[in-house]
Amino acid sequence: MPSAPLNILAALDGSGHDPHLIRQMKAWRRCFPQAQLHFLHVVKASPLPQKLKEAHPALAEVAPARHSPRETLAAHWPEGPYQYHERKGAAFKEIIHLVQDQEIKLLLLGLKHQRDGSGLINHRLANQSPCSLMLVPAYLPERMARILAATDFSAHAEEALSWGQEWAQCQGAQLEAVHFFHLPGGFLKNAGGQEELAELIRRHSEAEKQAAGPLHAQTPCGFRRNQGHPERQLLDYAVERQADLLVMGSKGKTAATALLMGSFAEKVFLHNRSQALLVVKQPGENTGLWKSILSAG
């Protein structure tokens, strides 16, 4: 967890998903009473061309029915405390601006079964935002029973595990980890030899776990063989373990110097349709990228 004050932002969009984000913000507030909470609603610009609106003024008065985020927030959490922000413009850029202005450490976004364009924005934010990000589905309970952390025993994974541990302790949840190991091809062709090699690599992975850091050493961990699509295996394993929340670092050993989210984290993000997911970023990650984004507009 970050040593600095935990500033959290939830992006509301006026949909029926907003109450679920508000409920999760309440949960974070209970666990971290000193956290500074922010809600943002970005009002989209009218899709109608200006000349068309001038020629037909009545069109400009017609707007799709939607819930008022401010009213929804007041109805579900009238006492706060939190700050509510409303801005006009492009959702991605306005969210990034507020992340910078308020030194946000965690961004909460809604995860919807039906993709309405929010999935593209979520993916872009996960890749380019400098802060950690949590996807909140509708069914996610305020009190969790099991939290699963994906690990490759890297420094990013140790940081993600620390977030998982803090959240699990507050929630009274069980924390466990899972590691997918790769079995290199071209060495042994017979089934017995493959099984023996898999066992050797699994034991080596167990030794890596013990040496990865104190949190890894004390956290129970499952070991699974990579069958070629570890992102799908991970999501299936989370369902199998009935994990309320899946936690992972944004990068691993093979992407430690990458500018954007690592390929494995990105694949998990893109394949995920219903699993609550917390992608943890280290302080300062993507700093140069988001500064260039803001300076461009």
Spell out the residues 6+ positions from residue 296 whose beta carbon is closer than 8 angstroms to its own: none
Which position has the higher pLDDT, 111 or 297?
111
In this structure, the number of other CB atoms found within 10 A of the CB of residue 189 comes to 8
Q: Could you report the per-residue pLDDT of 164-208, keeping only the tens digit for each?
A: 999 999 999 999 999 998 877 655 555 567 788 888 888 999 999
CATH code 3.40.50.620 region(s) in the chain: 1-138, 141-275
Name the phi and psi angles at 286, rounded to 5: 65, 20
Handedness of CA 131, 136, 142, 148 (dihedral sign): negative
Q: Can you name the CATH fold of 141-275?
A: Rossmann fold (3.40.50)
Q: Sheet harboring 221-225: ordered strands across?
A: 83-88, 36-43, 7-12, 106-110, 132-136, 277-280, 245-249, 146-150, 174-181, 221-225
User: What's the CATH code, domain 1-138?
Assistant: 3.40.50.620
pLDDT of residue 155 exceeding 80, the answer is: yes
The predicted model gives 18-27 an average pLDDT of: 95
pTM of the model: 0.84
What is the helix (H) or strand (E) element at residue 147, kind and residue range?
A: strand 146-150
- Tens of pLDDT, residue by residue over 242-291, are 999 999 998 755 543 334 456 788 889 889 989 999 999 986 554 554 45
